[in-house]
């Protein structure tokens, strides 16, 4: 039986969480919990007394343990959270990963009015005036932005309930993933491209104009032309669809020229509709245009849906290597319409699955097992099977990105298979598909891990899945091995004569290890045709 996600209501004190939780519980016929009430029951004292006794730090520890219990439930319960329950970033990430998080909004004036009516239930705001309430909201503001949906709590109880029900319906239907990054939080939605223009218009502030970047190969995909027409772009740049051959400074310059020629201002939005290369160069153009404008992306390949469009890594290739010029610039919205995958060749669908397997291997054993079970359908390029697991792959990546936005720690795990993969891709002159190169890099990295003491079962399991997904097993005979070594020597993660490799010693986890350049080439040699 599929797990029913809990629904967590949170936001400032007096935002109306308790009342809404009761209404949702009755309407949806789900269990209802209030963390303050549960703490009082378990501690044998009113929340105010527990707060005074334990001080805020001790109270938060009690509250956090309870919230983790709620998050891990599978009965779809509705939970009213205290106003500070998700202030811990790690707990907040778990909530976004495991539950639906609805944040209730209200003005400081309205909140103060509600608090004044029942001051004994708000221990942190005893004797507070409106300015103190406003200061508390400002202090917690970026945390409250990390939610799957925001609900305006103004109006009648019936109105607020209707808003919440509508939001939950959309979250379930579109399998929404929230990338929790404070003020840069955004959502990834699995929905029809027909809705892209309405969603772009709903951004705050509303876009003053739109520029669309796309490639010729996707213009005939379901919904693409309709979406572009509805966006009413002030300018449209169409690339020739040669992937990394367009991902250059010259390719970005075309966007700069079009945007400046159309007199776009800083409230404008750039919109990428296409594969990973279009997403990367559009994001980089947006990060630099007028010192930064917003961008949204509608990925049309498995690779770009699972990887390139999520996480804010933007950039272009250089003659000396892949992705050597770039920036971190998060999108404002990602919309995935898996119908567009129908027009992809089978080899390209399979290529993108390398990124799905990578994410699962280093961060989620449950997802890895699920992909193993569905590998035959995935290898056939079955759209329903791909659609089944893409949202989970995105959810896992969103969790990793939220923990380490700028790759200063754990996000480096997403480079599994990429160190050698990028070198192979660069040495091939970008004639080899990115996912195929990553698959070869994963095989080599798995063998390095085994040579360093990891259980052979891990390597065997990774390679067996790649085999079942019908991804490459050996290097092309024509590949210039010396060019691969040169590319490795210019890798961004190189230090002296070693490279930072992501090694998977256990499915669902990873280690970062320094691997000498010669050892990396030795692992590559094991992929020679026999």
pLDDT tens per residue across span 363-418: 999 999 999 999 999 999 999 999 999 999 999 999 999 999 988 888 889 999 99
- Whether pLDDT at 223 is above 50: yes
The fold of the 7-174 domain, in CATH, is Rossmann fold (3.40.50)
Q: Is the peptide bond before 205 cis (omega within 30 degrees of 0)?
A: yes
Q: Which tokens hold the place of 3? A: 């797990």
Whole-number percent of the chain with pLDDT over 90: 82
How many residues are recorded in the chain? 530
Distance CA 279, CA 366 (A): 29
| Exposed/middle/buried for residue 283 (C-beta within 10 Å: 0-12, 13-18, 19+) | buried
Q: Is the peptide bond before 25 cis (omega within 30 degrees of 0)?
A: no
Segment 347-361, tens digit of pLDDT: 999 999 999 999 999
Segment 344-349 shows an average pLDDT of: 94
For the chain, residues classed under CATH 3.40.50.300 are 7-174
Segment 89-137, tens digit of pLDDT: 999 999 999 999 999 998 877 877 777 666 555 555 555 667 777 787 8
Ordered strands of the 210-215 beta sheet:
177-179, 186-190, 333-336, 294-299, 269-274, 210-215, 235-239
* Res 530: pLDDT: 45
For the chain, residues classed under CATH 1.20.1090.10 are 346-525
* Res 233: pLDDT: 97
For the chain, residues classed under CATH 3.40.50.1970 are 186-343
* Res 1: pLDDT: 55
Segment 433-470, tens digit of pLDDT: 999 999 999 999 999 999 999 999 999 999 999 999 99
| Exposed/middle/buried for residue 429 (C-beta within 10 Å: 0-12, 13-18, 19+) | exposed
Give Cβ neighbours of residue 90 (< 8 Å, ≥ 6 apart): 403
Quick one: pLDDT band at residue 318, thresholds 50, 70, 90?
A: confident
Q: Where are the alpha helices (DSSP H) in 262-345?
A: 276-288, 302-303
Distance CA 282, CA 239 (A): 11
- Taking Cα atoms as reference points, which of 358, 247, 251 lies closest to residue 302? 358
Q: What is the b/e burial string over 459-477, where b = at least 16 CB atoms within 10 angstroms of the residue's CB?
A: bebbbebbebbbbbeebee
> How many Å is the maximal CA-CA distance in the chain?
79
Give Cβ neighbours of residue 423 (< 8 Å, ≥ 6 apart): 484, 485, 487, 488, 491
* Res 370: pLDDT: 96
Q: Which tokens hold the place of 255? A: 């966007």
- Taking Cα atoms as reference points, which of 379, 286, 382, 376 lies closest to residue 341? 382
Residue 418, CA distances (Å) to 323, 331, 369, 373 in order: 11, 23, 22, 25
- Mean pLDDT of all residues in the chain? 92
Whole-number percent of the chain with pLDDT over 70: 96
Secondary structure class of 268 (helix, strand, coil)? coil
Pairing of strands 313-318, 321-328: antiparallel
More confident residue, 496 or 481: 481
Q: Where are the alpha helices (DSSP H) in 9-122?
A: 17-28, 35-43, 47-71, 89-98, 108-117
8 A C-beta contact, residue 519 and residue 513: no
3 DSSP assignment:
P
Strand partners, 314: 327
Residue 422, CA distances (Å) to 376, 499, 515 in order: 27, 13, 16
Which single residue is written with the structure tokens 């109006």?
155
* Res 129: pLDDT: 67
Segment 295-302 shows an average pLDDT of: 97
Distance CA 96, CA 177 (A): 8
Phi, psi of 513, rounded to the nearest 5 degrees: -135, 145
How far is C-alpha 430 from the geometric centre of its chain's CA atoms? 26
Pairing of strands 100-105, 7-10: parallel
**Which of the listed CATH numbers 3.30.70.20, 3.30.420.10, 3.40.50.1970, 3.40.30.10 matches domain 186-343?**
3.40.50.1970
Q: Which CATH architecture has domain 346-525?
A: Up-down Bundle (1.20)
């Amino acid at each position: 039986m599929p797990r029913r996600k809990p629904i967590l209501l949170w936001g400032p004190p007096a935002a109306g969480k308790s009342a809404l939780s009761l209404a949702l519980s009755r309407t949806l016929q789900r269990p209802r919990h209030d963390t303050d009430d549960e703490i009082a029951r378990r501690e044998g004292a009113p929340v105010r007394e527990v707060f005074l006794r334990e001080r805020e730090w001790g109270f938060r520890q009690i509250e956090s343990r309870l919230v983790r219990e709620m998050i891990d439930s599978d009965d779809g319960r509705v939970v009213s959270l205290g106003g500070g329950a998700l202030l811990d970033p790690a707990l907040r990430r778990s909530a976004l990963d495991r539950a639906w998080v609805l944040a209730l909004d209200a003005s400081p004036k309205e909140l103060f009015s509600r608090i004044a009516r029942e001051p004994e239930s708000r221990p942190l705001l005893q004797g507070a005036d409106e300015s103190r309430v406003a200061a508390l909201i400002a202090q917690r503001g970026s945390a409250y932005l990390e939610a799957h949906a925001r609900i305006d709590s103004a109006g009648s109880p019936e109105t607020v309930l209707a808003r919440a029900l509508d939001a939950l319906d959309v979250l379930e239907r579109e399998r929404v993933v929230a990338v929790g990054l404070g003020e840069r939080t955004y959502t990834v939605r699995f929905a029809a491209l027909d809705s892209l223009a309405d969603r772009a218009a709903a951004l705050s502030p509303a876009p003053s104009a739109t520029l669309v970047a796309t490639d010729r190969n996707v213009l005939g995909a379901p919904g693409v032309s309709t979406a572009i027409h509805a966006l009413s772009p002030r300018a449209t740049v169409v690339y020739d669809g040669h992937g990394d051959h367009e991902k250059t400074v010259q390719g970005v310059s075309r966007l700069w020229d079009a945007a400046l020629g159309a007199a776009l201002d800083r409230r404008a939005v750039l919109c990428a509709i296409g594969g990973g290369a279009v997403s990367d160069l559009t994001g980089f153009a947006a990060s630099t245009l007028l010192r930064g404008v917003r961008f949204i992306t509608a990925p049309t390949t498995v690779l770009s849906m699972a990887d390139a469009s999520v996480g804010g890594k933007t950039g272009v290739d250089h003659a000396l290597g892949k992705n050597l010029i770039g920036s971190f610039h998060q999108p404002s919205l990602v919309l995935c319409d898996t119908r567009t995958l129908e027009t992809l060749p089978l080899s390209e669908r399979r290529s993108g699955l390398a990124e799905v397997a990578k994410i699962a291997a280093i961060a989620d054993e449950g997802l890895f097992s699920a992909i193993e079970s569905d590998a035959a359908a995935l290898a056939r390029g079955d759209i329903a099977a791909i659609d089944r697991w893409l949202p989970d792959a995105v959810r896992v990546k969103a969790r990793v990105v939220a923990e380490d936005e700028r790759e200063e720690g754990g996000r480096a795990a997403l480079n599994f298979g990429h160190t050698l993969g990028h070198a192979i891709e660069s040495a091939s002159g970008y004639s080899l598909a990115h996912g195929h190169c990553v698959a070869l890099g994963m095989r080599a990295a798995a063998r390095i891990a085994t040579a360093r003491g990891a259980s052979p079962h891990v390597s065997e399991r990774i390679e067996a899945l790649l085999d079942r997904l019908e991804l490459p097993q050996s290097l092309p005979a024509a590949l210039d091995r010396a060019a691969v070594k040169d590319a490795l020597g210019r890798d961004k993660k190189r230090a002296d004569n070693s490279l930072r490799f992501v090694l998977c010693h256990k499915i669902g986890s990873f280690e970062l290890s320094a691997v000498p350049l010669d050892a990396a080439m030795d692992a590559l040699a094991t992929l020679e045709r026999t």
